[in-house]
Each structure stands twice: as C-alpha cells, then as structure tokens.
Amino acid sequence: MASLPFVVDKGCCSLVGNRNYSLPFLSFSVKNSIFKIKATRKDYGQVGGADSDGDGDAIQAAINKTHKLLAVQKQLINQIAERRKLVSSINNAVNDAEFSKQGDGSFPSLESAEGRGSDTFEEGYAPDFLSGSSHDVSVDESQEDPSPTISEDYDEHTNQIGKALIFENSVDYTSSKELITPPSKQVYHNELPPFLSAASSSTPQYEKYERLKDSKVEEPHHEAKDVYVKNPPLAGANVMNVILVAAECAPWSKTGGLGDVAGALPKALARRGHRVMVVVPLYGNYAEPKNTGIRKLYKVDGQDMEVTYFHAYIDGVDFVFIESPQFRHMGDNIYGGNRTDILKRMVLFCKAAVEVPWHVPCGGVCYGDGNLVFIANDWHTALLPVYLKAYYRDNGLMKYTRAVLVIHNIAHQGRGPVDDFAFVDLPAHYLDLFRMYDPLGGEHFNIFAAGLKTADRVVTVSHGYAWELKTPEGGWGLHGIINENDWKMKGIVNGIDTQDWNPQIDIHLKSDGYTNYSLDTLQTGKPQCKAALQKELGLPVRNDVPLIGFIGRLDQQKGVDLIGEAVPWIVDQDAQLVMLGTGRPDLEQMLRQIESQHHDKIRGWVGFSVKTAHRITAGADILLMPSRFEPCGLNQLYAMSYGTIPVVHAVGGLRDTVEPFNPYEESGVGWTFDRAESSQLIHALGNCLLTYRQYKSSWEGLQRRGMTRDLSWDNAAENYEEVLVAAKHHW
C-alpha cells in the first residue's frame, strides 16, 4: 500500500493518493469528542472514476484505503487524546501540589457555582440570605459575543477547575502531522488568554499555538507585552488566579494612590505568570471595556439592583468593570454622597465582585473559584472577605477561594451606627465581627474591622506602617484587632508603574516645551522641563531658583498646613513653590491665598490633574511630603525616578523609602525630618537648599541614586505572591 501524504489545513483534513486520486473528504471534530466522517457517493465516484472496467475493484480499493485512513485518523485522534492527557497531567501536577490538602481531590464545579441562586444550591446549602441575592438577568443576545455554553469536558487549556464555558461558534478542529493541542481560538475567540500566554508558554503545544494564533488582541491604548509570552512563568508552581477588587483603578478612575496600585500591581502579578483580573466599578463611558452582555441582580437594602459586566484585556490583565446606575457618573465623587449611599454602593460592588469568577468569561473562560485568591483593598472592599465567608465558604461553596485584604489607609474604616448592619445583609451572628467600641466613637459598626478578622491574610503598604498600625496612635482604634491578627499580616512597599511614571517615555512631557529625559540627559532634560513648568504656570523662568513641589490630597494626613506655615521662610529663600491638590475647603483656600500673596513665587493649583502632577514631578527640583502619617506614599517614589529630591517626614512608608542624605558617605536619596512640625520641615528643607546651591556634585549623586533605584512593582509582586500562596494554603 502506497503511503498517502496528508494535505492539512485548519478547517478539514483531505488526503491525496499517489495516483492523483481524490480521496473521500473526511472531517472530524475533537470538540466534545464527537467525530464526524463525511463520505458522499459523489466522493466515491470520483475515486473510482479513473477506470470504468475496474469500477468494482477501484471502489473496493478505495473503500479499503478509506478503512486504512480511518485507522490512521483513529491513531491520530488517540495521539491527540494522549497529548491532551499530557497537558492535563502537567497542569494537574501543578494543581495537585496546591490542592494536596483537599481530601477527596474533587473540585467545586462551575455547574454548581453557576447555580448561585437558591434553587440550584445543593440540598441544605441554600442560605436564606443568599437566595435572591443574585439572579441571572439575561445575556444580551445583541452582543457580538455568542452565549457561552458549558462544555462537556474539562479543558486543560483553561487551567480551570470545573466545567469550562465554551462559545458555540468554535470551529471544528482537525488534526495535522504536527499535533497541536486544539487551539484556544476554539475557546477564546480572538485572544490568547492571559494565563496561557505566560503560565503555559513553556509547553510545546502552546508554543506551537503561539505561532498560529492571531496576534491581534484587544489593545485599546497600551502596547501588548508579548515579551512576557515567551518566558516561563516566574511564579513557577505557584501560578494561580488572582482577582484584585478596588473602588478605583487608574487610568480610568483615581482619587489617589489606591487607583495607581490597582492599575499597576495586577500587571506585575500577570508578568509573573498568574492569571490576573481587576474588578472595579464602571463610573463613566470608558473607551476600552466592552459590554459582555451578562447582567445580574443583587439585593441591596431589600431592593434588586442590576449590574452589567464590562470587560477589557490589557497588558495581560483582565479588567472587569461593574456597571450599575449606582456607580454611573460617580467618577469625580467615588466616595461621595451620604454614609448610607456609599455603604450601599460598596455592598453592591462587593456582592457583584465576589461572583465575577463564576459569571464573567474572560477570553471565553470564567476564572472559576478553584485556585483563586481575591485581593481586596481598604474598607470599601473589606466586605468581600466577609461575603466570601458568610455566603459561600460557610455553605460549602468557593471552598478553595481565599481573600487577602490590603490596608492602604486605616484612617478610613467604613464606620457608622450599629444599625448599619442591616444594610450589609448578613446572618445575625456576623454582627459581632463589625461591632466595635472606642472611647471617642462609642459603640459602632466598623467594616474594616470585619474585613481584617475574616481575611485569610492582611497586607499593608510598607514595613513602617505595618509597625505603626499596631500602636494606639497608628491603628486608629483598630490596633487591637491588628495585633491579634499579627500572624497573618505583612508589610510590602508599593512599587511604581514604570510605564506611566518614567521620564524617558512620559506622555505628559511630549508637548508644551517639556521633554523626555533619562539619567544620561538629566542635565539638559530636567532644566527644560523646569523652564516649561515655570512658563506654563506663569512663574519667572529661572533655572537658578530651586523649584519646590507638592502634590496630594489636601487633608490632615498630608501635612499641607505645615507647608503653609513655612511659606514666609520659603519665599525668603528665593525659591519657587508649586502646589497641586484638592480636598478640604479650608486647605484649598489656603493654596489660593498663598498664591495671591506671593504671585511671583508661588502657584497653588486647586484641582485634580494627572498631567500637571507628572509635569510638576519632572520640572521640580524638590518634592515636599510633610505627611503626618503615610502608609507608603507614591509621590516620593515618582520624584526619585524623575531626579527630583524628596524632603519628607520620616513616617510609615516615607521612612522606608527615603534614605536620608549622608554627606560624608555620599549616600541617601533625600532629606527626612522626625516630627510633623513646620520648624522641622524648614530645617530639613534648609539643608536640602544648601546642597542644591553649593554642592552640585552631591546633588547629582542624590539624583543618580534615586533614578537608578529599582522602584518597579516586580519586587513587590514577588512579595505579594508569597502572601497569596500563604493564603491559598490557609485552612
């Protein structure tokens, strides 16, 4: 029997004989393990049509060949199955290591998860408070994406526990000589799922698919970081699904540092190979996210509230936006409204966010609740670990899902009267988690307290702040709980987004006379930015005056009033001062007043402008941060990377990150002072100005050390990973 070379294309498999016979068209699908053999009479006729005398023989020969071909196909199918098993076993080996404590080895299935409503919980697992908590509303048929259905098989591509959501329009997949695992195109329609691109790229099957895949992914405004696709996951066997949940996320929504962290940390975790999602409210009409068509109802204060899920995939991260009338147009007032308004918004947000891994297919596949860790942030999402426990884990659901709570600022706790408990919709015995007493507030309801108690792990944003939180002064009434939970607490210093905050590529320095610069071009680039800033703000354009900057929320925390007290001294120094901020009306008024009193030297910009923040960071020589407390602080990190010298109160993260200048050893990156007092600020700033004016080489050394520091999120992400792993193994 002559060998029959294969001619393979993506849609079908045809075979050509050595006598130019066209052999029967065969197609099969590996999807759902159903194989279809199509051989029409016409096809057979063509096979035998070469020799009319030998029609019978030819047909018989063709039939024999077809049988052989079928055997070959069967063999190929078996090989595919073997490959699938191999990939599956690789993934399972990873998962097994993580889930070895699981007992029966079973995973919670998405099927039961899908049932999230009371009618589909297992008998006896239907918590009263959950029934009606979320309902399927509908999937909008008009959306481009087809409705997902549950596939019959476990899909090893998804690294997913439970049944995978597969889109109906998936194409049949045919074999080739080079066996390629059915491409995720079947499952992910036009994009490579994030966890696959990094986590699984080391397996040959995926590498082959890499070459085949349509490289077009949704990339609205960031460039793809395909560089990561080729590397094996840095996280190794610890690869997991991570969902960061926050009330704000840059660049879409930001009132301060939380937005920056929510926009940047997930990308760093994704670079380590994790499958990472951010869940955030949709406050406006953003360009990037697309409506998934998936809608749900959640009860808040007895009323059904509808949410719709939007999705964007950017820089290896799934961004899921929760749209609801409650969030619409709140972008400039994220924490605004009265106490119960914001409480209800956060109840809705947390209820919807905790079920995102069940409902929202990202690249076609839901995250599922196995091998999953949530990262909640501040009091706004501190209800998430509570809901995870009360609604799900107490009821045998989401058994393998964990929650880490990050403290960015303990000063805001979600406090209210004990009666507020009614809004959070929890079983009565949960009240004790929220009930607090302190001498100032008396008995009250405290959301941060409940979150800290229920989270599997707690992170705060610097080592210094982790220590301060345990003191009565730094814990703001929660120090007792924090001390009790010290065993699960860790300080991790924030990083910075080196794409957004990088003087070499900063998009805000590309116009109006500003320029990008690096360490090599610092001596020309930075003065140019300084001149552009002075010009833009209408200050005298002089390179010889030190330009001092401040950027931040105008409140008690940031110590902006201390700068106000130091203004008479500052203007006597022949220096310029530029302040940007928004917040307390009296402090906003202070900014306006000092500007009008010293119009030739001071600008007080009241408002929120990301562009201006970048330009001040580049154009200023010195950045002041006299914060009374500062959990981490990002502006001093941004300043350092732009060659701008920080002068800071040595507290919290500022102490951790600003090593004081030592003129004898020529070390350090800035100046610090020990007490939040204007006299101390003046003393430190005085030394700084002296060095600026008289010790140029020391100044350049300070700039160089700041600019060459690794301030990226990559180190922090590795530390977060340790916490996530610890949470995962916490039972």
Ligand X SMILES: Nc1ncnc2c1ncn2[C@@H]1O[C@H](COP(=O)(O)OP(=O)(O)O[C@H]2O[C@H](CO)[C@@H](O)[C@H](O)[C@H]2O)[C@@H](O)[C@H]1O
- Residues binding ligand X (CB under 6 A): 256-258, 260-261, 408-409, 461, 494, 551-553, 580-582, 608-610, 613, 630-635, 653
CB 625, min distance to ligand X, A: 8
Residue 494 or 644 with smaller CB distance to ligand X: 494
- Least distance in Å: CB of 116 to ligand X? 32
Q: Give the residue from 435, 447, 453, 448 showing the smallest Cα distance to 475.
A: 448
Of 372 and 613, nearer to ligand X (C-beta) is: 613
- Omega before residue 251 within 30° of 0, cis: yes
Task: Please give the Cα distance from 372 to 526 (Å, whole number).
Answer: 45
Least distance CB 336 / ligand X (angstroms): 16
Q: What is the 3-state secondary structure (H, E, C) of 634-683?
A: CHHHHHHHCCCEEEEECCHHHHHHCCECECCCCECCEEEECCCCHHHHHH
Backbone phi, psi, residue 342, to 5°:
-70, -35
Q: Which of 346, 270, 359 is nearest to 309 (CA)?
A: 359
Find the radius of gyration of the CA atoms of the chain. Answer: 30
CB of 549 to ligand X, least distance (A): 10
- Least separation in angstroms between CB 167 and ligand X: 38
For residues 596 and 598, give the distance between their C-alpha atoms in angstroms, rounded to a whole number: 6
Measured CA distances, 304 to 297, 326, 348, 388, 723 (Å): 6, 12, 10, 20, 36
Q: Which is nearer to ligand X, 335 or 437 (CB)?
A: 335
Tokens of 218: 């949704």
Separation CA 197–CA 187 (nearest Å): 14
Which residue, 48 or 653, has its beta carbon nearer to ligand X? 653
State the Cα–Cα distance between residues 606 and 553, nearest whole angstrom: 10
User: In degrees rounded to 5, what are phi and psi of residue 314?
Assistant: -135, 130
- Please report how close the Cβ of residue 633 comes to ligand X at its closest, in angstroms: 5
Other beta carbons within 10 angstroms of residue 25's beta carbon come to 16
| Residue of this chain nearest to ligand X (CB atom) | 256
**Edge-to-edge strand list for the sheet holding 415-416:** 415-416, 442-446, 435-438
State the nearest-atom distance from the C-beta of 528 to ligand X, in Å. 21
Hey, what are 230's tokens?
């080729």
> Whole-number minimum distance, CB 256 to ligand X, in Å?
2
- d(C-alpha 647, C-alpha 547), whole Å: 13
- CB-CB contact of 660 with 649 (8 Å): no
In angstroms, what is the minimal distance from the CB of 222 to ligand X? 18
Let me know: does 611 contact 508? Beta carbons within 8 Å: yes
CB of 490 to ligand X, least distance (A): 14
CB of 284 to ligand X, least distance (A): 17
What does the chain come to in residues? 731
Query: Minimum distance from CB of 607 to ligand X (Å)?
Result: 6
Q: Work out the number of other CB atoms within 10 angstroms of the CB of residue 699.
A: 18
Indicate the residue among 76 and 492 with the shorter CB distance to ligand X.
492
- What's the closest the beta carbon of residue 582 comes to ligand X, in angstroms? 5
How far apart are alpha carbons 386 and 668 in whole angstroms?
A: 43
Q: At its nearest, how many Å lie between ligand X and the CB of residue 619?
A: 14
Residue with tokens 């901020």: 581
Q: Which is nearer to ligand X, 160 or 409 (CB)?
A: 409
Question: Which residue intervals of 519-664 are DSSP H helices?
Answer: 522-537, 560-572, 585-597, 610-619, 635-641, 652-657
As measured in angstroms, the least distance from the Cβ of 457 to ligand X is 16
**Two structure tokens written together for 153:** 């098989």
Please report, as a single letter, which amino acid is at residue 134: S
Q: Torsions phi, psi of 274, nearest 5? A: -80, 155
State the Cα–Cα distance between residues 402 and 373, nearest whole angstrom: 5
Taking the complex as a whole, how short is the minimal distance between the CB of residue 404 and ligand X, in angstroms? 14
Question: d(Cα 668, Cα 618) in Å, to the nearest integer?
Answer: 20
- Give helix 560-572 / helix 678-694 axis angle, nearest 10°: 50
Please identify, using beta-carbon distances, which residue of 77 and 411 lies nearer to ligand X.
Answer: 411
Q: Up-side HSE of residue 372: CA atoms within 13 Å toward CB?
A: 28
Q: In terms of DSSP bridges, do strands 622-625 and 645-649 run parallel, antiparallel, or are they unpaired?
A: parallel
The DSSP call for residue 144 is: S
Closest distance of CB 390 from ligand X, Å:
27
Q: Which residue has the tokens 């509570």?
A: 386
- Report which secondary-structure segment, H or E, holds 199: helix 194-199
Token pair belonging to 488 = 């699960």
Residue 676 neighbours by CB distance under 10 Å: 17
- Choose between 238 and 462: whose C-beta lies nearer to ligand X: 462
N-terminal to C-terminal alpha carbon distance within the chain: 62
Of 113 and 547, nearer to ligand X (C-beta) is: 547
Taking the least distance from each CB to ligand X, the nearer of 47 and 591 is 591
Closest CA to 111 of 145, 154, 143: 154
C-beta of 261 vs 294, nearer to ligand X: 261
User: Rounded to an integer, what distance in angstroms lies between the CA atom of residue 576 and that of residue 316?
Assistant: 42
> What sign does the dihedral 307-309-310-312 (CA atoms) show?
positive
Q: Which is nearer to ligand X, 62 or 334 (CB)?
A: 334
Give the nearer residue to ligand X in terms of CB position, either 162 or 552: 552
Nearer to ligand X, 110 or 634 (CB): 634
Closer to ligand X at the Cβ: 163 or 614? Answer: 614
Nearer to ligand X, 191 or 721 (CB): 721
Measured from the CB atom, the residue of 317 and 634 that comes closer to ligand X is: 634
